[in-house]
Amino acid sequence: MKKILAADGISEKGIELLRDEFEVDVRDKLSAEELLDIIGDYDALMVRSASKVTAEVIERASKLKIIGRAGVGVDNIDIPAATAKGIIVINSPGGNTIAATEHTMAMMLAMSRKIPVANETMQRGEWNRKEYIGVELKGKTLGVIGLGRIGMGVAKRALGFEMNVIGYDPYVNEERASELGIKVVPLEDLIKNSDFITVHMPLTPDTKNMISMPQMKQMKTGVRLINCARGGIINEADLAQAVKDGIVAGAAIDVFVDEPIAKDHPLIGLKNVVLTPHLGASTVEAQIGVSLDVSKGIRAALNGEPVTTAVNMAPVSQQVMKVIAPYLTLAERLGCTICSIAEGPIKKVEVTYNGDITSVNTGLLTTAVIKGMLNPVLEKEVNYVNAPMLAKERGIKITEVKRKDVEDFANLITVKAQAGDKTCSVKGTLFGNEGRIVEINKFRVDVDPHARILICLHINKPGVIGAAGSLMGRHGINISSMAVGKTDIKGQNLMVLTIDNDIPLDVFNEFKSLDVIFDAKLVNFYAV
């Protein structure tokens, strides 16, 4: 009988599910040494956050087929080591959805009706009824940034409170949102027109500090902000100042950049600010839910069935993997690039393969393109298993084309996307084993997509490169390489700068406002 090790206090409900078919050993509070000593006896491992599944643990796991993380984050698992050894790693991305959704609503209500401070003063024997007059949710406009499962759940509940709900999400299925009563709007409109704003996005270089002082100054007087998603999406120092200045009437924050927060954190002690210590998933039901999710995945894997919550790539034959492995990172970064240069939500994507690579199954490469395209913009982690499903949910049509004929390169991957009535494209190939972007929107380039790049459509005349370099230099931003595109379009050219530093939003806007620049797009490959 196959054996499963359950560590870190996994809910008994999930363990009961597995005991019908497998031998399950429950060993809470295992030391690192104890885990190393016994892991070789087990076919599956269930953990929460306490146990560290290191490369050394995985090396000793001679029988291990799957590692299940009862929760969302997998930082305590060495995924590359597990993948290299053919071990599936799964998590529970949806097990705490209801808990996080309800906590968001609870925070909104507590902030609106000043419940925490009213309770605190009542416990001291005070009666300050007139001081704690709140506001109603009915009739107010709720702006939901990020319409994934949690964002949609919050929106549906807000509609039950008779709120007007508007939402922003570059990849939302607008028809589905409209059916639920949610009006999809540009981010700028949401910021200007909402009475309450709640964020449900992943923390990426693009979403970090996406709500900062410039955005807060554009909001309606009396706006209230909620963050139960990821610390850092709302700039905490700016929020504290905005509350002090009366720009923001209230805030409810569950997640923080650094946890636990310091005693001198700027949000501590502010009136009309509700703080909780990352309780979004802390319900009895959520702990049972993640346990059941992981247990079902482990049962499927041990029975040779497909696993839908794997965070590492699905297994492919060694022969196919040998051919496509060098292209996987390139494919993801082509997807990330197409996401950044598209003018609006993408509705269609066509991935074309030319050359010898067409002789093998390229499905995993197409999935890598989708993964790279969705990862920067979705709240949940996108992986090789769920990427096609997530694209389908958002109404994005994916097609794959193979052509044996060779163009200028022995093997070529072309990604073409349609956003509204406009199309964009990017092409890539390998130079040796290194991926290169060789064309962007018909401009021939030679770009190493290793970190972050700035794509600039500019006037084709002398002085452009100097103006761009001088601006970056003034702000201490290093340009490690530059490629200038070639095209038949008169009067235009394309410059691609490889940037070593993060570019602050004000610097990016200053760059875009240069007279010689038509447009600029920042692509951050750290997001994938």
Q: Which residues are catalytic?
A: 230, 259, 278
Dist CA 49 CA 255 (whole Å):
17
d(CA 409, CA 415): 15
Mapped onto helix, strand or coil, the DSSP state of residue 77 is strand
How far, in Å, CA of 274 to CA of 225, rounded? 10
- Tokens describing residue 116: 């925490």
Q: SS3 of 248, please?
A: strand
Closest CA to 382 of 398, 401, 369, 400: 369
3-class DSSP assignment, residue 185: coil
Q: How many CA atoms lie within 13 A of 456 on its CB side?
A: 28
Tell me the angle at which helices 97-112 and 115-123 cross, rounded to the nearest 10 degrees.
70
* Spatial distance between the Cα atoms of 518 and 102, rounded to a whole number of angstroms: 45
191, 213 Cβ separation under 8 angstroms: no
Strands (E), 228-301: 248-253, 273-275
Token pair in block for residue 245? 């200045």
Q: Which is nearest to 335 in space by CA: 324, 319, 346, 325?
A: 346
| Helix and strand element counts for the chain (H, E) | 17, 22
| Alpha helices (H) in 353-485, listed in sequence order | 363-374, 387-393, 464-474
Q: How far is CA 98 from CA 124, 278, 279, 346, in A?
A: 34, 15, 12, 29
Q: Where are the beta strands (DSSP E) in 201-308?
A: 223-227, 248-253, 273-275
Which residue, chain included where needed, has tokens 């190393």? Answer: 36
Residue owning tokens 């040998």: 322
CB 89 within 8 A of CB 79: yes
